[in-house]
Amino acid sequence: MRQGVLASSARVFEQTKVTDVSRSEGRVVITTPQGQVRADKAVLAANAFSGEWGITPKHLAVPLWVIEVETEPIAPESLRALGWTSRSGLITQHNIMENYRLTSRNTIVFGVRRIERGTGFPLPTSEKTPDPALVEELAGAFATRFPSLADVAVARAWGGWIAITSSWLPIAGQVGGNVFYSIACNGHGLAQAPYVGTLIADLIVDGKRPEDLDFLWAERPEFPRPMMMNRIGLRTVWTVDRFNDLINGSRRNARKGSLPVA
């Protein structure tokens, strides 16, 4: 996608932070540390970071910090013993899912399990690092899911901000006549964001809202505070997941062998 945009006639300014979005004389003004861009229309698609601008509707989504971990390279014979022939990604049936993905480097990337809510804007970025205790917890979960790989070490960990809504669905809408937004894919943005983006593009060009966009469209930008997304609520969800591990047999079965894979 990046190569496609760079090869187009669009002017692209990468690594340019937008500090404000406002209106002036019927146009949208995008302010950056080095200058301003004026446009007839603008689309806000900065996900969790959209809350940094005053023009964004309040309580649109909750910013959550999630982390991923990657193992060291795994011996090919150990991977073959898993029977993971399709290399399709895996998720667990938790409220806060664990995800596992086999890479072309013969490593396994996995993560989430526990999430942290952002407490205010602007969100910390470069100075924020994964909690070592959570990395250790994820490593323990990995050893439980894949006991034959329990001796495989964690090589690195990283984190980032995603946006979550109380409905677990993306939200799209319009502020005034010339500012549109597409925010909060709830961790599924790789599939959802490009599609929702094409729908909003069709709306802007054709002036008619596509039917698929109606399901996500917010006619009035007024949203209640997501009650379960506070620190106590998130901790409660994590506790429920760990309790379910004890009663649904997943921990017991995992000790006997790896998770079933396609």
Per residue in 208-254, pLDDT tens? 999 999 988 988 766 666 666 777 888 888 888 888 888 875 554 44
Q: What is the mean pLDDT of residues 16-43?
A: 93
Give Cα separations from 94 to 52, 107, 237, 239, 241 (angstroms).
Answer: 31, 23, 9, 11, 6
The DSSP output letter for 89 is -
Q: What is the DSSP letter of 86?
A: S
Model pLDDT, residue 250: 58
Distance (Å, whole) CA 216 – CA 244 = 32
Task: Please tell me the pTM assigned to this model.
Answer: 0.80
pLDDT at 257: 38
